Amino acid sequence: MFAFLLRRIVQAALVMLVVASIAFLMFRFLGDPISNLLPEDATVEERADLREKIGLNDPFVVQYGRFITNAAQGDFGQSYRNNRPVSDLLAERFPATAELVLVAASLALALGIPLGIYTALNPRGWISQGLQVVSLLGISVPTFVTGILLILLFSVTLGWLPSFGRGEVVDLGGWTTGFLTLSGLKALILPSIMLALFQMTLIMRLVRAEMLEVLRADYIKFARARGMPNRMLHFKYALKNTLIPVMTIFGLQLGGLIAFAIITETVFQWPGMGFLFIQAVNFSDVPVMAAYLVLVSFLFVVINTIVDLLYHVVDPRLRVEKSTARGV
Amino acid sequence: MTLLELDNIVVEFPTRRGPLEAVKGLSLELNEGQILGLVGESGAGKSITGAAITGLIEPPGLIRSGQVRLRGQRIDNLAPEKMRRIRGKEIGAIFQDPLTSLNPVYTVGEQLIDTMRVHLGLDHKAARKRAIDWLAEVGIPAPEARLDQYPHQFSGGMRQRVVIALALCAEPKLIIADEPTTALDVSVQAQILALLKRLCRENGTAVILVTHDMGVIAETADRVAVMYAGRLVEIGDVAQVIQDPLHPYTKGLMNSIPQIGNRDARLTQIEGAMPGLRNPAPGCAFAPRCPQAIDTCRTLRPIPVDAGSGQVACHLFGEAQ
Ligand SMILES: Nc1ncnc2c1ncn2[C@@H]1O[C@H](COP(=O)(O)OP(=O)(O)OP(=O)(O)O)[C@@H](O)[C@H]1O
Ligand SMILES: [Mg+2]
């Protein structure tokens, strides 16, 4: 187990190094930072001074080393656009994205798994068939379309829910939360539905397919032949086997949720990291773009590693080291 | 005493090209504690007969007509929940593949304990104690430590022992063992069969042992039933059927009884293949392959008549009488 953990951490570190290198190259190739930092009418001397001061004249390797060292400490320099440390900007925006993704992921799981189980256990019922059709829509309609339709229905026509922003937020020592006010909660509803919809249909279809497969397995047939009640057969013997692969896919999708949040945040003007990133792209604010790239990749890697570890905890077949140590 | 009676069972699968009869009217009786070997070529309907007894024919398949009686009580028309209580408790089943018969994500102990708690109403502690006893009973060393291990930590033969423990732990009166050793190593097959036989003898459990292997039958069974194309062609005591088979098909099977566990000696010695189950020709299904077929065989279906130590369905035999 320890060797496995070590191997995963080394792999994760390598991935992060590659990502950081890509981020570094963005600085080199996406425009000249000097022209972004100084006013249009700056003199040639002023430009040369700044160039020397922020180290752009240093050899490539030195610049690269400096970037990686700083990035590892969470320092991505100043934003070109508003001259504040990029880390501050991201820290400010992080809670908004985190809460959105958390609610969306919970929603996707809380609905996707039961619906998947239901459709697998009643494959011929008209509710199941209806859900299958709807889920096909959920997978094929682009998320921004669903978002706009949601706004049209619930904000414009019915006027029940806000169409943009986070509502009122409460500051809990640097973490701004929308969970504690009514307007904050209301503002969360539409964006999290939009973000969750695709994942939910995906999870539902995945659970359904896995469960149907598992229900055909010999060990379920044998358990049925032993007269185990359906309740135990479905929700104990079959469910655990179903959820192990679903968990892996969901872990991968969780990273996807953070990335997809860019679209949702743009549609709903949600003040999260994704919205910050889109604004940064418009202004060629390279430090923010680089930092976002590194941070999202970091979250991806962390989540994947955790999922992998969980997989080993849940699936006894993968606990090889432990079993041989204990084997008779 | 009669434990199980099959009375003219017909099992049908609706298919796109019309209904398909996998079992075409099969009757047999089994006494308590008796071991019945069920043999026949692939597709003869052996597994489906087993499924009909346990009520586990996969829909849309169904028992079209006939009755299954356990100790005189009909069980083929019970409500699902009633039938579930019979499964495992009265009629157990063992399947072919021990590698896939156990749930990979639960320990063998948990699977045993669940099964006993469902049927015997034991509390967890008592069930656990019994589970250890069962593992010891089926010959698993260090049962206490093994109880908390997962199936993948056992070898194939050991897993089939666990499967036997699982099938027997609620103390059923009948076990349907469908090729329980086919997937196992030749060297392990005999051990597993001997174990099954010993446990069933000790507990007075009757067994329907489905197999392709005549050697296994000779070694294990009291009686033999031979199936061909969904019908019983011969049934009788094992010694008589093996030494003095009556039906030409059985004779073909018995031409060379292979040694126990010899996989190559499958039931393929007879020329030709079993006819499809769809649109059967009139007359005896074996007639096209039968070296002794007469005209009647191709037009009139033979019905089973008492003969030897059991019954046989063959015109030739009827004439010889
Ligand atoms: N679900 C099903 N739908 C349609 N036909 C089926 C189904 N299950 C079995 N059959 C048919 O029933 C017949 C008997 O099958 P069965 O499994 O009982 O054979 P068997 O004697 O056990 O053969 P084997 O020795 O290969 O296990 C086969 O010809 C098969 O085509
Ligand atoms: Mg079979």
What is the percentage of chain A residues whose pLDDT exceeds 90? 23
**B146 contact residues in A (CB cutoff 8 A):** 328
User: Who among B56, B86, B119 is closest to A224 (CB)?
Assistant: B56
In the predicted structure, residue A212 carries a pLDDT above the cut 60: yes
Which of B47, B226, B274 has the most ligand 1 atoms within 8 A of CB, as the residue to mutate? Answer: B47
A49: exposed, middle or buried (C-beta count within 10 Å: 0-12, 13-18, 19+)?
middle
* ipTM given for this complex: 0.90
User: Who among B54, B103, B105 is closest to A223 (CB)?
Assistant: B103
My answer on whether B168 and B189 are in the same domain is yes
My answer on whether B202 and B251 are in the same domain is no
Mean pLDDT (chain B) is: 89
Nearest CA to ligand 1 atom 2: B13
Q: Does B150 touch chain A (CB under 8 A)?
A: yes
- Taking an 8 Å cut-off on Cβ atoms, the answer to whether B115 and A226 are in contact is yes
**A230 contact residues in B (CB cutoff 8 A):** 84
My answer on whether A63 and A204 are in the same domain is no
Q: What is the 8-class DSSP label of residue B256?
A: S
User: Which ligand is closest in space to the CA of residue B177?
Assistant: 2
- Taking an 8 Å cut-off on Cβ atoms, the answer to whether B105 and A316 are in contact is yes
Residue B184 contacts by C-beta under 8 Å, 6 or more apart in sequence?
Answer: B98, B156, B157, B160, B192
Instruction: Say how far apart CA B100 and CA B95 lie, in whole Å.
Output: 9
∠ CA A219-A320-A5, rounded to 5° = 125
Provide the number of structural domains found in chain B.
Answer: 2
My answer on whether B152 and B244 are in the same domain is no
pLDDT at residue number A161: 87
pLDDT at residue number A24: 86
Comparing C-alpha atoms, which of B321, B290, B282 is closest to residue B305?
B321
What's the B51 CA to ligand 2 centre distance in angstroms? 10
pLDDT at residue number B316: 85
* Within-domain flag for A251: yes
Highest mean pLDDT among A57-71, A249-263, B28-42: B28-42
* Within-domain flag for B205: yes
Work out the pLDDT band at B10, boundaries 50, 70, 90. Answer: very high
- Would you say the pTM of this structure is higher than 0.90? no
* Within-domain flag for B25: no
Per-residue pLDDT averaged across A210-232, rounded?
94
Strand residues in chain B grouped as ranges (E): 2-15, 18-31, 35-39, 62-70, 73-74, 91-94, 174-178, 206-210, 223-228, 231-237, 305-307, 310-312
Query: Using CB atoms and an 8 Å cut-off, which of residues 167-226 of chain A contact chain B?
Result: 217-226
In the predicted structure, residue A82 carries a pLDDT above the cut 90: no
Per-residue pLDDT averaged across B273-300, rounded?
84
B102 to chain A, closest Cα gap in Å: 5
pLDDT at residue number B123: 94
User: Who among A219, A227, A244 is closest to B87 (CB)?
Assistant: A227
- Taking an 8 Å cut-off on Cβ atoms, the answer to whether A326 and B149 are in contact is yes
pLDDT at residue number A44: 83
* Within-domain flag for B64: no
Per-residue pLDDT averaged across A144-166, rounded?
85
Per-residue pLDDT averaged across B205-229, rounded?
92
What's the B49 CA to ligand 1 centre distance in angstroms? 9
pLDDT at residue number B258: 52
Helix (H) or strand (E) holding A182: helix A182-215
Comparing C-alpha atoms, which of A58, A67, A88 is closest to residue A22?
A67
Work out the pLDDT band at B76, boundaries 50, 70, 90. Answer: very high
- Taking an 8 Å cut-off on Cβ atoms, the answer to whether A241 and B105 are in contact is yes
My answer on whether B197 and B220 are in the same domain is yes
Domain finish residue from A22, A37, A72: A72
Q: Does A44 touch chain B (CB under 8 A)?
A: no
Strand residues in B161-317 grouped as ranges (E): 174-178, 206-210, 223-228, 231-237, 305-307, 310-312
My answer on whether B301 and B214 are in the same domain is no
Per-residue pLDDT averaged across B309-315, rounded?
91
My answer on whether B243 and B313 are in the same domain is yes
Pick the range with the lowest mean pLDDT from A178-182, A293-297, A317-321, B306-310. Answer: A317-321
* Within-domain flag for A62: yes
My answer on whether A155 and A215 are in the same domain is yes
What's the B231 CA to ligand 2 centre distance in angstroms? 15
My answer on whether A231 and A176 are in the same domain is yes
My answer on whether B143 and B187 are in the same domain is yes
In the predicted structure, residue A310 carries a pLDDT above the cut 70: yes
Which of B20, B216, B263 has the most ligand 1 atoms within 8 A of CB, as the residue to mutate? Answer: B20
In the predicted structure, residue B225 carries a pLDDT above the cut 90: yes
Work out the pLDDT band at B321, boundaries 50, 70, 90. Answer: very low
pLDDT at residue number B222: 95
What is the percentage of chain A residues whose pLDDT exceeds 70? 96
My answer on whether B215 and B86 are in the same domain is yes
Provide the number of structural domains found in chain A.
Answer: 2
In the predicted structure, residue A324 carries a pLDDT above the cut 50: no
Per-residue pLDDT averaged across A301-311, rounded?
84
In the predicted structure, residue B221 carries a pLDDT above the cut 90: yes
* Within-domain flag for A81: no
User: Which ligand is closest in space to the CA of residue B51?
Assistant: 1
Residue of A212, A222, A326 to mutate for B, most B C-beta atoms under 10 A: A222
pLDDT at residue number A321: 45
B253 to chain A, closest Cα gap in Å: 30
In the predicted structure, residue B50 carries a pLDDT above the cut 60: yes
Comparing C-alpha atoms, which of B192, B216, B167 is closest to residue B39?
B216
My answer on whether B50 and B156 are in the same domain is yes
Q: Are B153 and A327 in contact (CB under 8 A)?
A: yes
Pick the range with the lowest mean pLDDT from A174-188, B116-130, B213-227. Answer: A174-188
* Ligand 1 binding site (Cβ under 6 Å of any ligand atom): B 13, 15, 20, 22, 40, 42-48, 58, 61, 277
In terms of residue numbers, what domain contains B243?
A: 231-259+282-321
B73: exposed, middle or buried (C-beta count within 10 Å: 0-12, 13-18, 19+)?
exposed
pLDDT at residue number A323: 42
pLDDT, tens only, B124-159: 999 999 999 999 999 999 999 999 999 999 999 999
pLDDT at residue number B160: 92
pLDDT at residue number B259: 47
pLDDT at residue number A325: 39
My answer on whether A238 and A150 are in the same domain is yes
My answer on whether B209 and B288 are in the same domain is no
In the predicted structure, residue A146 carries a pLDDT above the cut 90: no
Report CA-CA distances (Å) from B170 to A189, A319, B3, B107, B127: 52, 31, 17, 18, 11
pLDDT at residue number B267: 47
Per-residue pLDDT averaged across B174-199, rounded?
90
* Within-domain flag for B11: no
Pick the range with the lowest mean pLDDT from A234-238, B48-52, B313-317. Answer: B313-317
* Within-domain flag for B162: yes
- Taking an 8 Å cut-off on Cβ atoms, the answer to whether A218 and B97 are in contact is yes
Q: List the CATH number of the domain containing A136.
A: 1.10.3720.10
Q: Is the dihedral of CA A28, A31, A37, A40 positive or negative?
A: positive
Instruction: Say how far apart CA A180 and CA A193 lie, in whole Å.
Output: 19
In the predicted structure, residue B262 carries a pLDDT above the cut 70: no
**A221 contact residues in B (CB cutoff 8 A):** 56, 95
My answer on whether B201 and B298 are in the same domain is no
Comparing C-alpha atoms, which of A11, A35, A26, A54 is closest to residue A292?
A26
Q: For chain B, what is the largest distance between any 2 Cα atoms, rounded to a whole number of angstroms?
A: 67
User: Who among A217, A230, A317 is closest to B152 (CB)?
Assistant: A317
User: Who among B84, B105, B153 is closest to A227 (CB)?
Assistant: B84
- Is the peptide bond prior to A59 cis by the omega test (within 30 degrees of 0)? no
Terminal CA-CA length for chain B:
30
Q: Are B249 and B60 in contact (CB under 8 A)?
A: no
Highest mean pLDDT among A58-62, A198-202, A268-272, B26-30: B26-30
- Taking an 8 Å cut-off on Cβ atoms, the answer to whether B93 and A219 are in contact is no
Burial state string for A136-152 with b = 16 or more CB within 10 A and e = fewer than 16 = eebeeeebeebbeebbe
Work out the pLDDT band at B320, boundaries 50, 70, 90. Answer: very low
Helix (H) or strand (E) holding A137: helix A126-140
Give the residue on B whose Cα is nearest the Cα of A324. B153
What's the A71 CA to ligand 1 centre distance in angstroms? 65
Residue A111 contacts by C-beta under 8 Å, 6 or more apart in sequence?
Answer: A196, A200, A204
Residue found under tokens 């967890």: B124
Work out the pLDDT band at B319, boundaries 50, 70, 90. Answer: low
* Within-domain flag for A239: yes
* Within-domain flag for A226: yes
My answer on whether B132 and B247 are in the same domain is no
∠ CA A26-A28-A32, rounded to 5° = 105
My answer on whether A100 and A68 are in the same domain is no
* Within-domain flag for B114: yes
In terms of residue numbers, what domain contains A246?
A: 91-318
* Within-domain flag for A79: no
pLDDT at residue number B318: 66
My answer on whether A126 and A251 are in the same domain is yes
pLDDT, tens only, A89-136: 888 899 999 999 999 999 999 999 999 999 999 988 899 889 888 888
User: Who among A217, A228, A240 is closest to B114 (CB)?
Assistant: A228
Per-residue pLDDT averaged across B198-205, rounded?
91
Per-residue pLDDT averaged across B76-96, rounded?
93
Residue of A213, A216, A219, A313 to mutate for B, most B C-beta atoms under 10 A: A219
A281 to chain B, closest Cα gap in Å: 48
**B107 contact residues in A (CB cutoff 8 A):** 316
Residue A160 contacts by C-beta under 8 Å, 6 or more apart in sequence?
Answer: A154
